[in-house]
Amino acid sequence: MATLTPLFLFLSLLPLFSSASASSKDISILHLHSNRSPFDTITAMAANDEARLSYLSSLAVIPVASGQQITQTANYVLRAKLGSPGQQLLLALDTSSDLSWVPCAGCAGCPAATPFTPSASSSFASADCTAIAAACAPINQTYGSASFLATISKDTLSLANDSIPGFTFACVNSVSGVNSAMPKQGLLGLGRGFNGLPAQTQAQYSGVFSYCLPSFKSYYFSGSLRLGKTGQPKSIRTTPLLKNPRRPSLYYVNLTGISVGKTAVKAAPEWLAFDPASGAGTIVDSGTVITRLVRPLYEAVRDEFRRQVGAVEWSTLGGYDTCFATPTEKESPTVVFHFEGMDLVLPAENTLIHSSATPIACLAMAASPDNVNSVLNVIANLQQQNVRVLIDTVANRVGFARELCN
């Protein structure tokens, strides 16, 4: 099977609304590989999910204030400007990270890209880091197989026509280890901690944002990020947003069950339970590629899926254990996630991925790893594509609505 370059989805800002209190804007997402099958690139991206889940587990033992909110997979980035005058950057979008970070000029070992130059910005300043780290010395961050030192800083962040003065972020000074998977120009944290974008822009956007990730089948492969109350779907169905003090940066929801076709999968309560003591439960995450379910729950879903597909020869491919020769997508059962107060129906494009080399389809889900994350269910970005995901950190709700993300 041919190896394709890793897949990156880029967001270019559309200045649809002017700066205002509780304003709204759409930030479009453009896919760079619209002429390629997603299987090889998704498989390569999903290989980083183990590291991603290891990062999520670190949130259980490292306080949010330490600034350890570093994503492990950069599947989507947004175009932003930092500084005065603004320096354009492509920042990875991550709903499970709080502290944003960018490589700064002079960074030793940073990936090859145009870094942010603090000396060229008239609004750049050191931030009060005492609330973030125990001391104002450079803080140590980890990213997959790499680690880096950064100083807490602040500057003006520009998104479309809006400006966010005094935005707190980490200025990366040096990187060690393997940096090939790092976002070249940094990360924008949309996590729910006090350093995340929602908290820092509470007065401007009221703690509300939504995003719609494009399908790999979309010709234009573009979607949008929307900030603020204005322009959000009015009829969207929602489920309560839960807060887990063990992992306070993450967006937890109450997953009550899963159906395959018309059959409700039998699930023990502990497979779905929200437990603040252990960090168990279900989260919505933009950085993980394929949905991970606690092992017994995944096996129950997988076995029911296989039963309904029928007597076919099952194979493994690229880490997926439920692959089969593609008859037609219509013959595959629909998977439904049942949340408290609403259901999310996954069509075939959110359930299966297809090989570019052979007519093979695979169930795009996997078991959670056998480590501290064995208790965590992750609703990942492949299952969120062509879905408007609304997060309201003030009203404590998460919404899902089908939408063509163009």
Note the pLDDT tens digit of each residue in 60-108: 221 111 122 223 334 677 788 999 999 999 888 889 888 899 999 999 9
Which position among 26, 40, 49, 94 bears the catalytic label?
Answer: 94
Place of tokens 């965590």: 376
Q: Using omega within 30 degrees of 0 as the cis cutoff, is the peptide bond preceding 276 cis?
A: no
pLDDT value of position 53: 57
Place of tokens 């499970």: 96
Each residue's pLDDT tens digit, 128-174: 766 665 555 678 877 767 788 999 999 999 988 889 999 999 999 99
| 125: three-class secondary structure by DSSP | strand
Whole-number Å distance between alpha carbons of 133 and 29: 34
Among the listed residues 269, 211, 272, 274, the one whose alpha carbon sits nearest the alpha carbon of residue 242: 274
Percent pLDDT > 70 in the chain is: 75
Residue 285 falls in the annotated catalytic set: yes
pLDDT value of position 54: 58
Q: Across the strands, what pairs with 140?
A: 149
Q: Could you give all domains of the chain from N- to C-terminal order, each with its CATH number?
A: 9-226 (2.40.70.10), 235-402 (2.40.70.10)
Whole-number Å distance between alpha carbons of 349 and 216: 8
Residues in the chain where the model's pLDDT stays below 50: 1-23, 29-37, 57-74, 221
Contact present, 361 and 347 (Cβ < 8 Å) = no
Which position among 26, 40, 162, 285 bears the catalytic label?
Answer: 285
